[in-house]
Amino acid sequence: MAAAAASSVQRDLLSHCGIRSSRLPPAGLRRRSSSLRLDGVFHRGRLVAGPPRGMPLKGHLGSGGSAKMTLSFKKAMKWWEKGLQPNMKEIESAEDLSCSLLNAGDQLVVVDFFSPGCGGCRALHPKICQIAELNPDVLFFQINYEQHKSMCYSLHVHVLPFFRFYRGAQGRLCSFSCTNATIKKFKDALSKHTTDRCSLGPARGLEEEELLALAANRDLTFDYPKKPVLLPKEIAEIAPATLPVPLLTRETENKTLAMAAR
């Protein structure tokens, strides 16, 4: 009994001196120390704390690859791209303009010349889109003056906004410039030329002078076969075969018989 009491006193003394203790620490201290043992790593007697196991370090993936983040921003629409209708089209070249007018057939075509820096063009654009929506049978072709300056110069377009109307075998109907304040001019021309009609013949498209001006422009890749010019000698050779033969009536026959009897 004396030996047991002595050993108990010794344990209590060692515990108070901070050397060692056989008693269990409190529950909170046990949880804290266990977490240190799980999360930390011992290096030469020192405890080095690190991230929990199973989670990748900052800047690294679990498989060893690098993490990448990409940000994508939606491209903002330009003002002449807003509100476009299915019957509106932007012209890309002189060849595109010529072919589009020919393929339009008997439909009314409105060619709209604009510039991104033109305030009047920007103010008028929403109304043109509304008119295009109300007139689905009319084609609206847009030509950007800044991108096609040379073509516009050949077509004698020197003021903006500018409009030209084409239709079927009639070709060019009218040309004018109007702004948001004079939109009535545009509406009047539209109501005048949107009446139902049937062209006798294929679509004419651009005028002869417009085609020749585009073909003569060296800045454009536009080919237009010129009509051959006949010389006077060639005309004289072709004329007898092409002249109409006069029809003989009974009166002319009697005159020719009388002249033969004399």
Catalytic residues: 118, 121
Q: Which residues contact 259 (CB under 8 A, 6 or more apart)?
A: none
Count of other CB atoms within 10 angstroms of residue 140: 21
| Whether the Cβ atoms of residue 134 and residue 193 lie closer than 8 Å to each other | no
d(CA 136, CA 139): 8
| Whether the Cβ atoms of residue 150 and residue 187 lie closer than 8 Å to each other | no
| Whether the Cβ atoms of residue 128 and residue 142 lie closer than 8 Å to each other | no
Sheet of 108-114, strands arranged across: 88-90, 139-144, 108-114, 162-167, 171-177
